[in-house]
Structure 1
């Protein structure tokens, strides 16, 4: 097709196929042919609903909404006859993963294929190809399509990321010229920050299949487990100078829990893609990049669930047309390749149907055998002082159809107390045995040293929960069908003060509500005991005296705060304690924080989005976003704290303005590479460890692997903490697992009390790290703070808010906000 030529259906669709004229084409609904403009999500929804209303091959389902209230649609496509028995087909299919399906007649069962598009919103050829795929499946006529629909149930997810797609489509359509511009320097190809890759809170949703923290993920994971599809395709784009990639990826980078048969079948499916691309003359490659290690990606999550995940990556036009090493890449060309891969997937599924169905059944049979042989019969996890955090891990397990049980009574295992109501038991002998292993395992030995994503995600460590293996199920209580969040209440009838501990995950939410109401609150700098209850560092006291509310109004308000924050608040009748009394100067007043965050060019949007989400969705604390474009005009004096997410540098005028603000009393909190920026610009002086590896004997061919092996892509390391320091208030152990994906190593401060968090002598808990970097990490410090003028500088070398599921270290940021004056 000529670069400036208008696209047409004949360019995309298979030849020698007739189409039902009563089925509306995309152009008849959208007002333009596929590929002329980038489809916006509202138009995509409009076409899918119109198509479903016109075809007895399609039913449509609205599974919820994004953060921006866009619908999360799913089309179920199969023959009309199958639709009449769709629930029976689903149940029979899922039975293959259970013992009840041991004798199921596979020869008569349809295969189930989940086809999903554009989880990265600015990789838009996928969702635009979904228009064509839906039309083809609804309108194509003949024996070939009849055989496909009879033997296949297609779960068509036209857009994994509605918010991001809408943002990107608006950008490139606004900047499209009548006579298309292919110059890569044109503004069309340079999206404004934060760009359309991510969802509303700037998350990369192709990392959330396992944590399931976002509404888009929850919808698709529910669909996945409801159907247990045999193949799941994930359509992406990559750099404009690339061609087309399909899996398998690099063989040595497959997770060891993934059976070899999975990779063999993926390779056989790849022959269908190759044949289809050979036919249309499109370049492609396979097995040379990407991996199948982290189970939180769309192409890898299916592999630990008895399915086959397939990644497609198309060299992107990033707009409507762009120059590349392979000539002009047009948007219609990219769409056609994605559509071609969709059809070749369905062709492979139809022809390999019985083989793939048998593989699914065998996967779960083998998993049950493995489970029956394991000496560890269950995992127990919990936190006696933080029921909410344990609940949220249990919530993830339930979303993955993993059976969990209450514990019958409080129990101590290996010296750790597990409390009923704040602990759970996970039997290992169940259908999701392999997924349970993937969630709980700690792994430090690897076949390869390069990872496309993180190398560790051990969930109890991410949540900073105690966990142990159990040799029997004697401590397991009833299985939990309806998991309920921990309750909270106001206890006691005292009229002197109200107390709540800082250990619970939602304690910061409660404190924020209390301060926003105008109530004074103080924090205990030392432990104490009152009315036979031991209160730890960081306990919050709300005195009754001199408040804006009277006692009864305070009771009513604090009762609602307790319930909303899933914690208990106790009304006490005396200030006399064992330890510091409630009127002691060791109770420090807490100011009401007014927090801002620097965003925009130069800031990593992922890191910023995680912080925004934490404040807005979890703790309901207002967070002002300060864009670097307008920083010079902003009045910073209204903010007590400014957070600086990951950045390498900022313009001089922004740096000077931040310096003056800190000197005048502000607290700046820097993360990851912002730590280097703050040190280089004299906000704080840090002693960085010198790194570097001898490369004199490394060949040109080996250079990438050599350098890549020094990257810490994401692993978990142990620290020892000083619980008396305000940065660690709320933690009950002397150790804290930290997630790290940087090679910023800071030597400890000469004063021991300035090193309240320090990596241990043997810090590696789970994941890959080179021997050299492990040596650098030992006894280094991820946190430092210093006074500057009347203000304070706080630095974290590590991301304490990673991907919204690193619950275990979220409180470090909250401590830096509420308790910075006490440091």
Structure 2
């Protein structure tokens, strides 16, 4: 009977919709905009959405509009809170219950949790617009909000009574850019999507969905605050496009692997919500929705808006839906016409209109909200149960099962002649092997982590801690000196305990990821992960961490807000000839750039330290800098020997029409560390005379992407189809036009810093630097096949020559972010040819976190190298040393190369 009632409710809402039973006095989108949401060739802009939501806020007692912060371009980022008027009157109580159940610390018993769950309301986040070119997301959000504030049908009223909906716009800047770009064509039937002139998020573009554990972007920080520090929704739904070819939508559940550190209630809850979605689509006669291996999406990776929530005990939903304001065709895909477990209700090829995609999105939203209403108490209790499980695991000895540990068990079993039971066979493996291998006390999960305040780059440790705090993790600071496990730590050290509700996220930021060997068949090609395979943020940022395996305590205070960098000092006599400061912190480069901008004389000493000559007001300026950067300065009474004089570096940062995400992220890094830069486009490089404008040119990953360096200019839009202001951005780096100008720039004394794929420049310049990762097939050198070598985004360790100027301030071993990155082979007479290795792989097992199939192939390969070209310098960075602005531990490789370029 309950199933019949559910189907009847679905059919009733489908037949009536918002228009059939609508609250009077609420203006509709068509009345507001002059067109209905989903009409062909029409898009509402963010400016229009903002005005509309403010109007609804005035008209409806179901909605409260909240300003959650500014965007990168200064717009207001809006969130609409939608629930019944009665719930609005007790909203703070609802919010408090959600927080207490999610954090679980002061709710000690299941009985108390059940009581709070009975009183509380489900909190469901629904967003739109994150990827602005996926125009459906923002448009469906407009329609969803309207239907919730205006609907008078029984289902809507029940949902509003049981659920608080957080309708969040995820990317206001991109929404306006994309909508206005589409609408610039006055003839609606000539409007087409695509060919944006720049990134639709100022720095990250599409990568704005890769920032959730770092929160380097303004919009991410705004949303993280709502998710992890204010509202703690049990369910969050992140709308995306586009669906797999031959379908309309991908919806949960997801394919394996899922991550081993979060609670088992996450994958089972995803199955529950996914079943509700697919059932409703079938009940409403909406075919074409696939799941699991119908697409590549998994729940392994942490870092996306919907994936980071898994590590916070929240149910993260993703749909990928077809549709465009310009009508499209669903292609004929015979392989998607036979019903299967992953596609139970196929769709036939046909013309598809935007309103149909809006209707599918509304169905998905309704399915989620209906389930949240019906299972309100269970979802509230379950988030407490997951949080409580996490706290209890952090208070006891626990072990995380990983593929690597099971592989070790198999190895030991084979070595001992002990049978290992295969899946599906009878019998069992001797329990003694389980205890000896999988319950080794040394392999316990930590009870906590300590970041000592006396580490070489403590300001970067503060940045790391703030990323945790922005993600809702409890971080403590030490009020005074304390000792743990035989080591004494200074006051100000940072402590992160694992006995907290968000323990999965804590482990994921500190511990290595061990991605399974996910291949199509034994010995076959690997199945690419959805994003990175390994990302351990502590490794990427190069912070020094002590893992504490036993319970501990001390004079600790939990940080209530983001931490300030502890101020540095200016030490020594008031009358000084110069001041020296260390090169071990990233903030030292910010100091250098600010001093140079102020006209101070800054030098670099042979040991890598920096020196600023004293003049009127120098000490006061240094004291101010010490306060904000944490850098300390030592006054020198005697005038030291002259070092290498530095001057403001003139940086040319490559970009292209449409925008490069690696270039955008690097713009953010340059601004954070106050490097002056100018964006330079291919046509400007082709024009030559580069030395008159630049000391250094940075070619990020993707600047040179073809085997010959000739990017596909054919993919660029025709100049006459875009506004004149953007035409200078067209073009590509080519072997025929650009490389000769770069060579001339180098030979005349310039510096080119090439990252990732752009290191192909070495071959285009005929330097004797080759690809290490090849094999000979019939006498021809070819790249290693994926069956033999494959390293998707992971953390690897390299050996470093810290005496090399590019490596000043770094240790002799450094973790780098590596994504099938270039690895170089240098000739035996490299030094005589002016080529020097800076970082290389000195072991057959460099993997630190992630997945590295055939990693032994890397041994002996060079990761970072420098080559003399004429009077200039070419620097080659195989790994992406500034990837998504996250690997602060490798920033110095680039920073050192930049400041030494200005001679």
State the TM bucket, normalised to the shorter chain: 0.7 to 0.9
Question: Do residues 459 (structure 1) and 537 (structure 2) align?
Answer: yes
- 1:11 to partner: Cα distance: 10
Write the distance in 2 (CA, Å) between the matches of 1:176 and 1:739. 46
Q: 1:413 to 1:12 in 2, by over 3 A?
A: farther
Write the distance in 2 (CA, Å) between the matches of 1:11 and 1:191. 37
Q: 1:690 to 1:323 in 2, by over 3 A?
A: same
Q: 1:480 to 1:263 in 2, by over 3 A?
A: closer
Gaps of 5+ in 1: 1-9, 182-187, 527-537, 545-550, 576-581, 695-705
**Equivalence for 2:678:** 624
Q: 1:175 to 1:333 in 2, by over 3 A?
A: farther
**Of 470, 488, 491, the match for 2:568:** 488
Task: Show the 5 A alignment for 1:760-799.
Answer: 760-772=842-854, 774-799=855-880
RMSD of aligned Cα (Å): 2.7
- 1:633 to partner: Cα distance: 4.4
The question of whether the paired residues in 2 share the 8 Å contact of 1:180 and 1:321 is answered with: no
The question of whether the paired residues in 2 share the 8 Å contact of 1:232 and 1:309 is answered with: yes
- 1:718 to partner: Cα distance: 0.8
Task: Show the 5 A alignment for 1:298-697.
Answer: 298-317=305-324, 319-325=325-331, 326-374=349-397, 376-382=446-452, 384-407=455-478, 419-421=490-492, 423-446=493-516, 448=518, 450-470=528-548, 471-474=550-553, 477-482=556-561, 483-492=563-572, 493-526=574-607, 538-544=608-614, 551-575=615-639, 582-583=640-641, 587-601=643-657, 605-616=660-671, 618-633=672-687, 635-636=689-690, 637-647=692-702, 648=705, 649=709, 650-651=733-734, 652-676=736-760, 678-682=761-765, 684-691=767-774
Structure 2 length normalisation: TM-score? Answer: 0.80
Task: Show the 5 A alignment for 1:3-152.
Answer: 14=17, 17-36=20-39, 37-97=42-102, 98-101=104-107, 102=109, 103-104=112-113, 105=115, 106-152=117-163
- 1:258 to partner: Cα distance: 3.1
The question of whether the paired residues in 2 share the 8 Å contact of 1:117 and 1:130 is answered with: yes
Write the distance in 2 (CA, Å) between the matches of 1:13 and 1:40. 28
**Equivalence for 1:171:** 181
Structure 1 length normalisation: TM-score? Answer: 0.87
Write the distance in 2 (CA, Å) between the matches of 1:507 and 1:340. 54
- Cα displacement string for residues 441-489 of structure 1 (whole angstroms, at most 9, x for unaligned residues): 1133526353101111212111101112123424553333353222134
The question of whether the paired residues in 1 share the 8 Å contact of 2:277 and 2:364 is answered with: yes
The question of whether the paired residues in 1 share the 8 Å contact of 2:243 and 2:320 is answered with: no
Write the distance in 2 (CA, Å) between the matches of 1:368 and 1:472. 13
Deviates more, 1:794-803 or 1:374-383: 374-383
The question of whether the paired residues in 2 share the 8 Å contact of 1:725 and 1:756 is answered with: yes
Number of matched pairs: 762
Helix, strand or coil for the counterpart of 1:20? coil
- 1:401 to partner: Cα distance: 2.7
The question of whether the paired residues in 2 share the 8 Å contact of 1:246 and 1:310 is answered with: no
The question of whether the paired residues in 2 share the 8 Å contact of 1:322 and 1:330 is answered with: yes
Helix, strand or coil for the counterpart of 1:552? coil
Q: 1:480 to 1:260 in 2, by over 3 A?
A: closer
- 1:631 to partner: Cα distance: 4.0
The question of whether the paired residues in 2 share the 8 Å contact of 1:384 and 1:417 is answered with: no
Q: 1:200 to 1:583 in 2, by over 3 A?
A: closer
Write the distance in 2 (CA, Å) between the matches of 1:176 and 1:234. 32
Question: Do residues 264 (structure 1) and 268 (structure 2) align?
Answer: yes
- 1:403 to partner: Cα distance: 2.1
Helix, strand or coil for the counterpart of 1:446? coil
Task: Show the 5 A alignment for 1:172-187.
Answer: 172-175=182-185, 177-179=187-189
The question of whether the paired residues in 2 share the 8 Å contact of 1:12 and 1:336 is answered with: no
Q: 1:355 to 1:709 in 2, by over 3 A?
A: farther
Gaps of 5+ in 2: 1-12, 332-348, 398-443, 520-527, 710-732, 778-784
Helix, strand or coil for the counterpart of 2:44? coil
Write the distance in 2 (CA, Å) between the matches of 1:711 and 1:693. 18
Deviates more, 1:244-253 or 1:132-141: 244-253
The question of whether the paired residues in 2 share the 8 Å contact of 1:646 and 1:670 is answered with: yes
Write the distance in 1 (CA, Å) between the matches of 2:306 and 2:485. 38
Q: 1:366 to 1:559 in 2, by over 3 A?
A: closer
Write the distance in 1 (CA, Å) between the matches of 2:82 and 2:61. 9
Helix, strand or coil for the counterpart of 1:212? coil
